[in-house]
Chains A and B, each alone.
Chain A
């Protein structure tokens, strides 16, 4: 299937149109490296599972789709991690992208550092917004998208939410607003890993209705395997799914993806990686290739 370019086809818009970056990057390798780094980072701190489920989404966005050569470029595509508790995955991706020094990752959760458990705007380069309380990102992203449209800018705004997060009413306020403002430069992604803080998502709300809910609010919807780089990229290159409307990619994922022992495990929201397991989890990830 040919990747469709969508309506914003112009030179330099997509990552691999960049004349300095003609070689298509091996995203499978990048994702593996990010996951291995996360295994090492999460010997303390919560949300290991939440970070692992979004690695492929982040990889495809930052290395295939988004036009973002530097964190300060005013014309850059923007990404907001609305499910801020997965901050470690964002930091690691930004380091892999070269925006943050790799050594800074060692300061994760350390006293006096800038790598908080939830991202803080400008804490490190590339972190666009302070998130961590859920349900905020979609509205902030809508504001950035609106300014872009009004100013005739070509950038897109991507906002990544959790499937528990979309229980927040403010998400649906934003959904109404974005559709009514015709923010076709806004792309939401739902990390649908079916686990939340204290239950399975399907016990709190029916997960089979996600598509219909977003469609009813006027959004274009695509459902993909959130760990399949090809499927993710094809979806992202197809936005806006409906002309003149915001788009949402519902990505079916697995919490703790890559670490067989913990995949889909509820406790991975809170528990860290035991020190004695670090090496074997990293080997697990090698074998996944």
Chain B
């Protein structure tokens, strides 16, 4: 997904010289081509995230379109107050690009994990929160972000993410979820790196005779309430799947819509329990620990459907 981001950004920067890229000393093997091609529009600000956001704000106030890159915790939480005041309060078109969603950097430990970012970003007024489900959605999201007048946060994985689409012709629009698989009775609504997981779990459900719907809810804010309503009309169970805390992320966002719009549907949520990783482990290992493998998602949904 990082490559999809930088390739798209370079395409855009070729045609629009207002585009700037700032990094907080991150980007090894990813940002070199941009740095070398547009030296006047690229700055490694150093390990100084608060300054980086302020600098981005000042540049945006002067008509620049600024992308700010680092790993998720450092571009959202380290400089949270600067994001809040310089970008959201002033409604500036700065795009935060966070790498390493969820427990992508598994063995690095929780300082490098991103399990609270969706929650803390979506509570900010004027912030758009996009969690692309894979490299193709990343490409579309980065291009679409150019039109946003306010700040946005784009949550990326790292590399090698599978895609659930046969090709690039997907109906991508910020604020509109994508129906990856049409179905009824049960819907898996996933975001970010869990979209392929949800698709796999749906495949397993299908083998057991169900007809599950799969939605990639890439935009968590503003969330696609209409799509959720349409899904609730056909499904009695929605399961949200995210590599993020169960508190405040996609699951909470969907719950808020179900409550506010009085949707007649049951909700169960998959995500990371309220804990930092208690042991070192790869992403795959930690996913299993937290019950986020397709087989584990399948088994819980199966039980839930039995009770209905």
Task: Tell me the A residues contacting B by CB distance below 8 Å.
Answer: 120-121, 128-130, 132-133, 135-148, 150-151, 169-170, 173-174, 176-177, 181
Q: Is the CB of B55 within 8 A of A135?
A: no
Q: B62 to chain A: which residues have CB within 8 Å?
A: 143-144, 147-148, 151
7 contacts between A and B (CB under 8 A): A130-B90, A136-B85, A140-B86, A142-B51, A143-B54, A146-B59, A173-B51
Using a CB-CB cutoff of 8 Å, which residues 42-72 of chain B contact chain A? Answer: 43, 45-46, 48, 50-64
Q: Is the CB of A143 within 8 A of B59?
A: yes
B61 partner, pick from A120, A132, A144, A176, beta carbons under 8 A = A144
B interface, over-half SS? helix
Q: Is the CB of A139 within 8 A of B54?
A: yes
Q: Is the CB of B61 within 8 A of A140?
A: yes
Task: Tell me the B residues contacting A by CB distance below 8 Å.
Answer: 40-41, 43, 45-46, 48, 50-64, 81-82, 85-86, 89-90
Q: Is the CB of B55 within 8 A of A136?
A: no
A146 with B51, Cβ < 8 A, contacts A133-B81, A140-B86, A170-B82 known: no
Q: Is the CB of B54 within 8 A of A138?
A: yes
Q: Is the CB of B55 within 8 A of A177?
A: yes
Q: Is the CB of A176 within 8 A of B85?
A: no
Q: A132 to chain B: which residues have CB within 8 Å?
A: 85
Taken together as a complex, chains A and B put the C-alpha atoms of A144 and B58 apart, in Å, by 5
Q: Is the CB of B46 within 8 A of A129?
A: no
Number of A-B contacts (CB under 8 A): 87
Q: B90 to chain A: which residues have CB within 8 Å?
A: 121, 129-130
Q: B89 to chain A: which residues have CB within 8 Å?
A: 120, 130
Q: Is the CB of A139 within 8 A of B58?
A: yes
Q: A151 to chain B: which residues have CB within 8 Å?
A: 62
Q: A140 to chain B: which residues have CB within 8 Å?
A: 54-55, 57-58, 61, 86
Q: B82 to chain A: which residues have CB within 8 Å?
A: 136, 139, 170
Q: Is the CB of B48 within 8 A of A133?
A: no
A143 partner, pick from B48, B50, B57, B85, beta carbons under 8 A = B57
Q: Is the CB of B51 within 8 A of A177?
A: yes
The closest CB in chain A to the CB of B22 belongs to A143
Taken together as a complex, chains A and B put the C-alpha atoms of A145 and B56 apart, in Å, by 12
A147 partner, pick from B45, B51, B53, B64, beta carbons under 8 A = B64
Q: Is the CB of B81 within 8 A of A174?
A: no
A170 with B59, Cβ < 8 A, contacts A130-B90, A133-B81, A150-B40 known: no
Q: Is the CB of B58 within 8 A of A143?
A: yes
Q: A141 to chain B: which residues have CB within 8 Å?
A: 58
A146 with B50, Cβ < 8 A, contacts A129-B90, A140-B86 known: no
Most buried by B among A130, A132, A151: A130
Q: Is the CB of B59 within 8 A of A139?
A: no
Q: A147 to chain B: which residues have CB within 8 Å?
A: 58-59, 62-64
The closest CB in chain A to the CB of B94 belongs to A143
A136 with B64, Cβ < 8 A, contacts A129-B90, A176-B48, A177-B45 known: no
A173 with B58, Cβ < 8 A, contacts A121-B90, A130-B89, A140-B86 known: no
Q: A176 to chain B: which residues have CB within 8 Å?
A: 46, 48, 51
* Distance to closest chain A CB from B51 (angstroms): 4
Taken together as a complex, chains A and B put the C-alpha atoms of A137 and B51 apart, in Å, by 10
Q: Is the CB of A143 within 8 A of B46?
A: no
The closest CB in chain B to the CB of A137 belongs to B54
Taken together as a complex, chains A and B put the C-alpha atoms of A174 and B50 apart, in Å, by 8
The closest CB in chain A to the CB of B47 belongs to A173
Q: Is the CB of A135 within 8 A of B61?
A: no
The closest CB in chain A to the CB of B89 belongs to A130
* Distance to closest chain B CB from A130 (angstroms): 5
Q: Is the CB of B50 within 8 A of A170?
A: yes
Taken together as a complex, chains A and B put the C-alpha atoms of A136 and B89 apart, in Å, by 13
The closest CB in chain B to the CB of A159 belongs to B58
The closest CB in chain A to the CB of B41 belongs to A150
Most buried by B among A129, A142, A173: A173
Most buried by A among B51, B53, B82: B51
Q: B46 to chain A: which residues have CB within 8 Å?
A: 176-177
Taken together as a complex, chains A and B put the C-alpha atoms of A167 and B155 apart, in Å, by 33
The closest CB in chain A to the CB of B45 belongs to A177
Taken together as a complex, chains A and B put the C-alpha atoms of A81 and B291 apart, in Å, by 51
Q: B56 to chain A: which residues have CB within 8 Å?
A: 143
* Distance to closest chain A CB from B272 (angstroms): 30
* Distance to closest chain B CB from A140 (angstroms): 4
Taken together as a complex, chains A and B put the C-alpha atoms of A146 and B62 apart, in Å, by 9
The closest CB in chain A to the CB of B82 belongs to A136
Q: A173 to chain B: which residues have CB within 8 Å?
A: 48, 50-51
